[in-house]
Amino acid sequence: MVEIVKANNVYFTYSQAHSPVLNNISFSVESNTFTTIIGENGSGKSTLAKTIVGLNKPDKGEIQIAGLQLNEENLDQIRANVGMVFQNPDNQFVGATVADDVAFGLENHQVPHNQMEEIVEKYLSLVKMWDYRDRTPETLSGGQKQRVAIASALAYSPKVLILDEASSMLDPKGRKDLLELILELKKTTQTTIISVTHNLSEALVSDRVYLLTKGQINGSGTPQEIFTNRKLIKDNNLELPFIPELIYQLKKQDFPLKKDWMTEEELIEFLW
Ligand code: ADP
């Protein structure tokens, strides 16, 4: 397995603040995996996402993406390897139409004109927005806008896609659709996906979860390892996703469940 993102002892302080928001962060992400970063509001998740892509300059520590050391000389190369999608889809559009928006990113990455149309079609189809290619972005729903933002971010084939609270402005259906899209992207493209999220259902289906507490990594592991650690969940004011919570409550009532961790399908089958 290739470690595509590596952070070693990273510190970051906002200029007007006294104490670091990222306080000795070390972690790594394996290639072609889906990683989630969770934690309470204000724990430093967004700051971490921005620091990984060079939008924040660390006070100290090292960050590597796709084998490249993050520093001022490598910034353009690093950015070519990383796509980023933010919380508010309205702030991410630059094109007059959906298709223009995806093409704009390609122009910035010096993709030859004769390849552009093909790439725009490929990625808008992948996110199921090809039929909307001539629409102006303002006329789309929140979920549709996020899909276009993801197509634009993926169009220049970054190795890593970072989603920063990309589902937080979506309704439950939009969140579910976005999650399905993430899993689809993992399967059909080689993209490594890192999602900073409030949506613990997203963390539940990720390969690895990092839990941030006051700018430090306070837990990391599989969803099972994180979500069966009651103390960790409680201390960080997190609400368990529905299935782990249901399993926990059933076990608490001495319901004869054989395991304390099951997928949704396993639980339904058992209860049936
Ligand atoms: P999270 O994404 O986990 O909610 P953030 O990374 O947004 O957390 O914020 C972590 C801390 O950094 C918070 O205390 C927040 O107030 C502070 N912070 C975030 N952005 C800025 C900024 N641009 N300037 C100063 N402080 C900031």
**pLDDT tens per residue, range 3-43:** 999 999 999 999 887 899 999 999 999 999 999 999 999 99
Q: Ligand 1, from 21, 86, 196: best to mutate by most atoms within 8 Å of Cβ?
A: 21
Q: What is the pLDDT of residue 63?
A: 96
What is the number of the ligand 1 atom nearest to the C-alpha of 212?
Answer: 3
CB neighbourhood size of 24 (10 A): 14
Q: What is the pLDDT of residue 175?
A: 85
**Distance from the alpha carbon of residue 216 to the mean position of ligand 1, in angstroms:** 14
Q: What is the pLDDT of residue 89?
A: 78
Ligand 1 near 41 CB (within 6 A): yes
Q: What is the pLDDT of residue 265?
A: 87
Q: For residue 156, which of 111, 113, 98, 222 has the smallest C-alpha distance? A: 111
Ligand 1 near 45 CB (within 6 A): yes
CB neighbourhood size of 152 (10 A): 27
Ligand 1 near 198 CB (within 6 A): no
Distance CA 18, CA 259 (A): 47
Q: Which fold has domain 3-234?
A: Rossmann fold (3.40.50)
Q: What is the pLDDT of residue 58?
A: 95
User: Which residue, judged by its Cα, is nearest atom 16 of ligand 1?
Assistant: 42
Residues in the chain: 272
Interface predicted TM-score (ipTM) over 0.90: yes
Q: What is the pLDDT of residue 119?
A: 93
Task: Indicate the domain borders of the chain.
Answer: 3-234, 241-272
Positions of the chain with pLDDT under 70: none
Ligand 1 near 47 CB (within 6 A): yes
